[in-house]
Chains A and B, each alone.
Chain A
Amino acid sequence: MKTLEELRKIREKAQGEMKLRESDYRYKVVVGMGTSGIAMGAREVMKAILEEVSQRGIKNVLVTQTGEKGLSSLEPVIDVIEEGRPVITYGNMDVAKARKMVAEHIVNGKVINEYVVSTTN
C-alpha cells in the first residue's frame, strides 16, 4: 500500500530516470518486446545485447524493454536514448547487428546509419 504522497514521489523519480537525468547511465537501450518483435527474434537480440554489455563490462548503459511502436515489418526494433540527443531507432535487428550496435554506438558513440529507421526528438 502506498499513499498518494508516496506515489507522487515514485512518479517524480521515474520521470528523472526515464530521461536519464538523475541516473548514472549515459545510454538507455530499449528493445521492443511485443509479440511481433518476439516473433521476429527480439528475445535473442535482447540476450545478445545483455551478453555484450556484460562481457565488455559496460557500466553506463541501462537495457530495458518496451511494447510495440507499430512498425511490425521492421521488427526487432531497438531505441538508443541519450540525454539531449534525438532517440535513434534501429530496425530489422538481429543478433550480429545488435552486438555491432553495442560495439559501435554504446562503446564508441557512433550511430550505425545503415540500421537506423527513424530518429525522434
Chain B
Amino acid sequence: MKFYRSHILIGIDDASLAAGVKEIEALLRNELQKNNLSDEINILETGTLGHFGTGVSMLVYPEQVTYVNLKKEDIFEIVEEHFLKGRPLQRLILDRSLTQNYDFNYKRRIVLSNSGVIDPENIDEYLGAGGYEAWEKALTTMKPNELVDEVKASGLKGRGGAGFPAGLKWSFTAPIVADQKYVVVNADEGEPGTFKDRLIMEGDPHKLLEGVMLCAYAIGASKAYIYIRGEYKLCIHRLEIAIAAAREYGILGNNIFGSGFDLDIFIKVGAGAYVCGEETALIESMEGNRGTPRSKPPFPGVAGAWQKPTVVNNVETLANIPAIIKNGAKWFAAHGVDGSTGTKVYTIMGDVNLPGLCEVDMGTSLRTIIQQYAGGMIEGRTFKAALVGGAAGVFLNDTLLDVHMDYNSLREYAAVLGSGAILVMSDTVDMVDMLWSVLRFFRHESCGKCNPCSKGTALLFKLIDGIRKGKGKDSDLEQLIKVSNGMQKTSFCALGQSPCMPIASAINNFRQDFLTRINVK
C-alpha cells in the first residue's frame, strides 16, 4: 500500500457542485502535480462534509483542518502555504463554533418549544401546536386538587430564582376558603442578564396564559394578573393580543367549556424598579403603591393582593405547567436530574461567539452550555469567569466548568442557579470592574425601605469604587465581605441579602485581581 503524508477529502454535494467543486478539484490536482506533491498527497472525493452553507469545502488529514468557501484563487495559496510550507491557512479554516449546525434543541424544549416557530399573534397556530389541550383536559376530566398533586409530583421548582417547589406553593393556597383568590404572574424580569421570560411572552404568549389558567383552576382563583415591567413593550403588546383572542374563543370568560369555571386575566404594567421582582413589593406596585416589600408572614399565599390568598409564580414556572398537565408528572420528571426535574432556560452572554439563549435539561454543565449552545469563547480568548444567576449570582472560576448545573450540585459549591443568566468573562476582564458594575446596580436599585440595604449598598459601592480608583486598602476586602454578610442577616428582603454572594465569590475566586488594584499604584 502506498503511503501518503496527507489525505484531502473533498465534499461533493448539491451545494458544492453548484459552487464549482469539480473545477476546483481539477485545479488542486494540477497544482499538486506541478509542485511534485502528487505522490505524497492523496485526494479523495467524499459525500457532504456536513458544513452547510460553506460552499466548496475540504478536510485535510492528519491535521484535521477544514477549509471552507473555497474559490479557485485560494488553491494556489493553500498549496503554497499548507502543503509546501506546512502552515495551514487560517483565513479559510472553518470556524467550527460558528458554522456547525446550530443546535436549537427543539426536541428537548418544553417552555420554548414554540418560540421561534409559531406566530405569537395568531392563536390558531398555538392551537395547531397542541396548545390549550391541557386546559381542555383539566376542565373536562380533572379536579383542581388533581392538578396540584400532578404539579407536586413533577418536582417542578420555581424558576424565578429562589427555587421553591411550585406544587407545594399551590397546595398552601388551594384549600383556603375565600370570596376571592388571585394568580399573579411575576413578569418583572429585571435580574441583569436575564431575558428568558421576555422570550416566552414575546414568542409564545398563549403558553403563559395556559399555565396561568391551569394554576387558577387548581387553586380556585377567578382573576389573574400578569405584572410586566414597563420596558417590555413588545411583551405587553403580544399578551394583550393573546388575552383578547382567548376571550373571543371562550377559552377565558364565564363558564369556560361548560365547566362552570370562570376566569379572566389582566395585565399590570410596572414602571422601572428591580425590587418589584420581590413578590410582596410586586403586589404593592400592582395595587398602585411604591413598590416596597411587605413583612412576611403573612405570606401572599394567605394574604397577598388586596389581602386575598394569592399565588405568585414566575413566567417560566407557569410556562412548564401545560406540558406537565398534558403529558403527566412522570414525563416531566424524566427530564433533568434528581431534585431538579425538567429543563432550564439559560441566557448566555458576554465573551462568547453566539450569545443568546438555550433550553436544556437540568444538570447540564457550564462547559457544555458554553461550547455547544453559545459557540464557545470568542477567538483567541480563554475562559476566566462566569457570573451565574444575574447580579445576585455567583462569580465562578474555571474549576467549576464541569459542575452539573442543578439546584443540589450548585449548592455544594455555595453557588446558585438563580434566574439562569450566564455572563461569561474572558481573561481580559478585571473582576474589580465587574464587581464594581454589580455593586453600582444594587446601590441604584435599593428601595430605601430598610437601613441595612439602603446604607449598606451605598457603603459597598464606595468601597469597591475606592479600590477601582486605586485608593483601596487590603482591609477593604474583608470590609466588603463583613458588610455584605451583615446585610444578608439583617435586610428586610432578598435585595439586601443578595450582594454577599457576588462579593464573596469574586473576592475568594479572584483575589489576585483585587490585590493587584490595591497594591499596584
When A and B assemble into the complex, do they touch directly, with CB atoms less than 8 Å apart?
Answer: yes
- Could you list which residues of chain A lie within 8 angstroms of chain B, going by C-beta atoms? 1-4, 7, 10-11, 13-15, 17-18, 30, 32, 34-35, 38, 64-74, 77, 89, 110-111, 113-120
- Let me know if A67 and B116 touch, CB within 8 A: yes
Listed in ascending order, the chain B residues whose CB lies under 8 Å from chain A are: 15, 18-19, 52-55, 69, 99, 101-102, 104, 106, 112, 114-122, 124-125, 127-130, 132, 136, 140, 198-199, 202-204, 232, 234, 248-251, 253, 257, 349, 353-359
Quote the shortest CB–CB distance from A32 to chain B (angstroms): 6
Number of residue pairs A-B, CB distance < 8 angstroms: 128
Contacts of B250 in A (CB 8 A): 1-3
- Do the beta carbons of B69 and A34 come within 8 Å of each other? no
Closest to B203 in A: A67
CB atoms of A70 and B106 under 8 A apart:
no
Do B116 and A68 touch across chains, with their CB atoms under 8 A apart? Answer: yes
Which chain B residue has the least Cβ–Cβ distance from A115?
B53
Q: Specify which of B132, B203, B257 lies most central, judged by the most chain A CB atoms within 10 Å of its CB.
A: B203
**Are B136 and A68 in contact, with the CB atoms below 8 A?**
no
A120–B104 CB distance below 8 A: yes
User: A1-B249, A7-B132, A70-B112 known; 4 other A-B pairs, CB under 8 Å?
Assistant: A1-B248, A68-B357, A69-B115, A72-B356
A116 x B52 contact (CB < 8 A)? yes
A71 to B355, CA, bound (A): 7
Q: Is the CB of B115 within 8 A of A18?
A: no
Residues of chain A with a CB closer than 8 A to B354's CB: 71, 73-74
Whether A110 pairs with B116 at a CB distance below 8 angstroms is no
Return chain A residues, CB-CB under 8 Å to B349. 72
Q: Which residues of A sit under 8 angstroms from B19, Cβ to Cβ?
A: 113
Q: Which residues of B contact A7 (CB under 8 A)?
A: 127, 132, 136, 249, 251
| Chain B: CB-nearest residue to A67 | B203
Which residue of A is nearest B55, CB measured? A113
Q: A2-B249, A69-B104 are in contact. Are A11 and B127 (CB under 8 A)?
A: yes
Task: Give complex CA distance A110, B125 in Å.
Answer: 28
- Given that A35-B202, A66-B118, A67-B202 are known contacts, is A10 also in contact with B124, CB under 8 Å in the complex? yes
Chain A residues whose C-beta falls within 8 Å of the C-beta of B122 in the assembled complex = 64
Q: Once the chains are docked, how many angstroms separate the CA of A118 from the CA of B349?
A: 20
Beta-carbon nearest neighbor of A119 in chain B: B52
23 contacts between A and B (CB under 8 A): A2-B250, A7-B127, A7-B132, A7-B136, A11-B127, A11-B130, A18-B129, A34-B234, A35-B202, A35-B234, A65-B119, A66-B118, A67-B115, A67-B116, A67-B204, A70-B116, A70-B199, A72-B355, A110-B18, A111-B15, A113-B19, A115-B53, A118-B52
A36 to B1, CA, bound (A): 57
* Cα of A72 to Cα of B374 in the assembled complex, Å: 10
Bound complex: CA A14 to CA B249 (Å): 15
CA of A110 to CA of B55 in the docked complex: distance in angstroms?
13
Nearest residue (CB) in A for B253 is: A1
CB contact under 8 A between A69 and B116, given known A7-B132, A113-B19: yes
Is A34 in contact with B199, judged by CB distance below 8 angstroms?
yes
Which residues of the other chain, B, contact A72 by a CB distance below 8 angstroms?
349, 355-357
- Across the interface, which residues of B come within 8 angstroms of A111, CB to CB? 15, 53
